[in-house]
Chain A
Amino acid sequence: MTAFLVVLVLILFGVAIWQMGKIFQLSKGKADNTSEIANDKDNNANGWLMLMFVFFIYVLTIVCFVKWSDVLLPQSASAHGLETDQLWLISMVIIFIVGIITQWLLHYFAFKYRGRKTQRATFYADNDKLEFIWTIIPVIVLAGLIIYGLFTWTDIMNVDTEDDPLVVELYAQQFKWNARYAGDDNVLGEANVRLIEGANILGVDTSDPNAQDDIVVNELHLPKGRKVLFKMRSQDVLHSAYMPHFRAQMNCVPGMITQFSFTPTITTEKMRSNPDMVEKVKHINDIRAKKSEVLLAKGEEALEPYEFDYLLLCNKICGNSHYNMQMKIVVEDEDAFNAWLKEQKTLVQALEQ
């Protein structure tokens, strides 16, 4: 892979050098050509380069897709994510069609109408009909995208409490995450940074009846098929709870509680056996194995083999360890989830110890 990329880069670099050489060659021309204004020779050379450039863009696009489509996110592990991905696909198709056509026209015209001494440009200043057409087409296409997008957005953001979602607090601080489950009553106890003390790092009001069954953990477990309502808090600076596999993100803002909800649909186990994921993980482990060889040669420890897990990342710059603010997410069947939750101590129990 790396070798291929190196070769690819070298080829592209070679093409660049070759083009540079060609330009120099073409531009040297006759000795009397001393003006810094483009002459027919320059126009011809650069016109051809314009045509080659549009192919460069196309080839770059194709190479990127062939080489790197396996790094993209796998299928969505949340219910609403399927909608998002569908909208994404439609938008992408439109973008690519428009992009391919307009780039072609732009560069092809630059090639086709490259200047010649004998050529006369057409005086063509206006055409209301033409302009109307290319105003109204974007209007229609965008109207469609806007309406589709707004319905999807409203579906995602409107939380219907009648679904009886599982309430979980995501608590951000420099540079770690904690999660608080609301317990049997499914209501989170009051909390405030002014109550942070000792092991009560979330500042939960332990005198609040709702807080008695709250459970604080540092690994997020979610039941498959049940809607989860996240309540986000931050104790210091802005953070952003980003869960790319679930197409979910919301900022954590000190001084306010933000929220986001989704329904996980694929367990961790099942995602690990997804063919795309198997391939991706194998690829990652190949890379890690190669890195390990280098490390072992230096007398350092080898990297551990990687196994897929869902992730919660921080996606808002929050300080020097921003790049390593993460929490593991485990999605499991509801029974397994309930069994796991039972094993956890409530906050009150943990504080008493």
Chain B
Amino acid sequence: MSAHAHDLAMDHHEDHGHHHKETFITKYIFSQDHKMISKQYLFTGLIMGFIGIAMSILFRLQLAWPDHQFSIYEVFLGKWGAEGVMDPNIYLALVTIHGTIMVFFVLTAGLSGTFSNLLIPLQCGARDMASGFLNMISYWLFFLSSVIMVISLFVEAGPASAGWTIYPPLSALPQAIPGSGAGMTLWLVSMAIFIASSLLGALNYIVTVLNLRTKGMSMTRLPLTIWAFFITAVIGVVSFPVLLSAALLLIMDRSFGTSFFLSDIYIAGEVLHNQGGSPVLFEHLFWFLGHPEVYIVLLPALGITSEIIATNSRKPIFGYRAMVASILAIAFLSTIVWGHHMFVSGMNPFLGSVFTFTTLLIAIPSAVKAFNYITTLWKGNLQLNPAMLFSIGLVSTFITGGLTGIILGDSALDINVHDTYFVVAHFHLVMGISALYGLFAGVYHWFPKMFEGKMMNKNMGYVHFWVTAIGAYGVFFPMHFIGMAGLPRRYYTNTAFPYFDDLTNVNVVITIFAIIAAAAQLVFLFNFIYSIFYGKKGPKNPWGSNTLEWTAEVKHIHGNWDGPIPHVHRWAYDYSKLNKDGSDYVIAGQDYIPQTVPIQENEEEMHH
């Protein structure tokens, strides 16, 4: 296979002259170049992220000041916010679409799609993805599904509003909630296309990592980013088809009168004919994807963090093999823990015991990762670039959010906080904020690679990080308390329960922090757009990094390297390595040794 890769490389090299014949359409729209596709993913993901965050601000306003009339509702929600009063149905729609967009469109496609596409060929030393054409199709299917999801917001009866988990029968019966009409149909169509896109992308990533690594790039020399993207793609291939089957069966139940998930239902004054189905079956199918999905979101962020922390600490990542092993362990365990979302679903309590066991096991590789990150910082020479700050921030929220997972994964404790704000706080910290930090870290770090040497403004980056960091903890730390007070999630207002009146203050604090944190994202947005056009050009390898992408041409060319593909002679983490007598770095005066540098005479070889 590597011979094949070599042939490809030769082909590319020989027909170098054809590259300039690209038209506007083949270069910027239907591009098959991984770097352009990566940018397309990023832009689409950021636009979707903007919508998702804006939605969260709308429903946070409603939660903090339920009696207050905000004309902003009428501006954005039209008839659903008439006279500044938010309709309960649109509240549910907002939380549903916020969840869907953030989990799938921003943190799956926007994060993994962007950086897998950008980095897999560049860090493996390949001219492009194994199949540029499939890659292009993958992006355009994602784009199509985004468009359909956005269109679904404008359906007359309202968008899907059964929660992002779309449990039937609520999601199957328009009689139960208006959003389960055309809105839910579009949601399902959009997600089916999204899954197709994700599968095409994932297969491409796997094949590229396995077959197109340059000479010398053994699996154990791969940067941890690539390991993370690779395993993420494997999890995606294993679990996304199961969500597709759940979606297809739900479409059948909704449109063709089958009874996979429906049984014994009396609604709107009549008995439905459905008999024998079970909503619990849907929950199993959904979470068989749904839980691995958490790691599909998180692993790329952890991979990005590993790379950035090592580079900016000027130290090798501590325990490379343990990091790879924990990625593998997390990936394996992630497929057998889905039942912890269903402890009180009515499934057999014995199953609950099994899932408690597997769930708490997953804390072990997670703990190893956290400790290894901290040890990587120890005795480093930390270059606190914005990307590094976001990476450290990620480790912080990963720890905080991960620790409460020990409570939720324990079936006996889950009983009382299941579906309360305690869960909301937990998963936002551990996967939402952590993965977003990973996304931001990646954007700051690889911006020069994406935009031909231009760099983002660091001061705006610092403001962005610190305000976001304070805002994120300010939102989600107090949220644990209203969960422990017994407040269920997805309540349009808490005023129906005088018992919860004393939680209003907490909700106000949370909303204020949320607005501050959201405002900080505007700083990022401005910095991002401004830097694309006016960003200062940095050096070719601005962060002094070892990985291959920084040896590629600054100017984007099809095929990445103008000359032959570089060969690899060492792992990616030889930072601050000293020569044999310890008098200086191996390369005098330079604290990093790029992977392309052969083993020197004055250094000891490490076995990785």
- A residues apposed to B, CB below 8 Å: 1-2, 5, 8-9, 12-13, 15-16, 19-20, 23-24, 27, 34-38, 42-43, 45-47, 49-50, 53, 56-57, 60-61, 64, 68, 70-73, 81, 83-84, 87-88, 91-92, 94-95, 98-99, 102-103, 105-107, 109-110, 113-116, 119-127, 130-131, 134-135, 138-139, 142, 145-146, 149-150, 152-154, 156-158, 173-174, 192-194, 196, 203, 232, 235-238, 240, 242, 244-245, 247-251, 253-256, 258, 280, 283-284, 287-288, 303, 306, 308, 311, 313-324, 326
In the bound complex, CA of A303 to CA of B361 (Å) = 50
Q: Does B266 contact A (CB under 8 A)?
A: yes
Query: Chain B: residues with CB nearer than 8 A to chain A?
Result: 87-89, 92, 162-163, 167-170, 173, 176-177, 262-267, 271, 276-280, 313-322, 344-346, 349, 352-353, 356-357, 360-361, 363-364, 367-368, 370-375, 377-385, 388-389, 392, 395-396, 399-400, 403-404, 406-407, 410-413, 415-416, 418-420, 455-459, 462-463, 466-467, 469-470, 473-474, 477-478, 481-482, 484-486, 488, 490-494, 496-499, 501-506, 508-509, 512-513, 516, 535-536, 538, 542-543, 573, 575-578, 591, 606, 608
- Contact A320-B92, Cβ < 8 Å, known A73-B484, A123-B575, A326-B497: yes
**Structural contact, B419 and A113, CB atoms closer than 8 A:** no
B396 touches which one: A106, A134, A236, A318 (CB < 8 A)?
A: A106
B481–A92 touching, CB < 8 Å: no
B267 with A235: CB separation less than 8 A: yes
Asked whether, in the complex, the Cβ of A249 is within 8 Å of the Cβ of B415, the reply is yes
Q: Which residue of A lies closest to B377 (CB)?
A: A109
Tell me the nearest residue of chain B to A65, going by C-beta. Answer: B481
- Give chain A nearest CB distance to B492 CB in angstroms: 4
Supply 27 A–B pairs (Cβ within 8 Å), ascending by A.
A5-B508, A23-B466, A24-B459, A35-B536, A36-B536, A38-B385, A53-B470, A60-B477, A70-B502, A84-B416, A87-B410, A103-B400, A107-B392, A107-B396, A123-B578, A125-B317, A125-B573, A127-B319, A134-B368, A145-B360, A174-B267, A240-B344, A242-B488, A248-B415, A253-B280, A317-B170, A320-B92
Q: What residues on A are CB-neighbors of B162 within 8 Å?
A: 317
Whether A311 contacts B497 in the complex (CB less than 8 A), given A27-B462, A102-B370, comes out as yes
> Contact at A64–B478, with CB atoms within 8 Å?
yes
Q: Which residue of B has the minimal Cβ distance to A255? A: B263
- The answer to whether A110 touches B349, judged by C-beta atoms less than 8 angstroms apart, is no
A38-B458, A64-B478, A99-B399 given as contacts; is B473 within 8 A of A56 (CB)? yes
CA A89 – CA B176 in complex, angstroms?
Answer: 40
Known A114-B384, A156-B412, A323-B492; contact A123-B576, beta-carbon cutoff 8 A = yes
**Chain B residues within an 8 Å CB radius of A126:** 318-321
Question: Which B residue's beta carbon lies closest to that of A309?
Answer: B499
Residue among A56, A156, A323, A326 with the highest chain B CB neighbour number at 10 A: A323
Say whether chain A's binding surface is mostly helix, strand, loop, or mixed: helix
Contact among A16, A71, A110, A192 for B506, CB-based, below 8 A: A71
Question: What residues on B are CB-neighbors of A308 within 8 Å?
Answer: 499
Q: How far is the CA of A253 from the CA of B169 in the complex (A)?
A: 9
Assess whether A237 is in contact with B482, with CB atoms less than 8 Å apart.
Answer: no
B374 engages A105 (CB within 8 Å): yes
Nearest chain B CB to A307 CB, angstrom units:
9
Is the Cβ of A119 less than 8 Å from the Cβ of B381? yes
CA gap between A194 and B152 in the complex, in Å: 35
How many Å lie between the Cα of A240 and that of B89 in the bound state?
Answer: 19
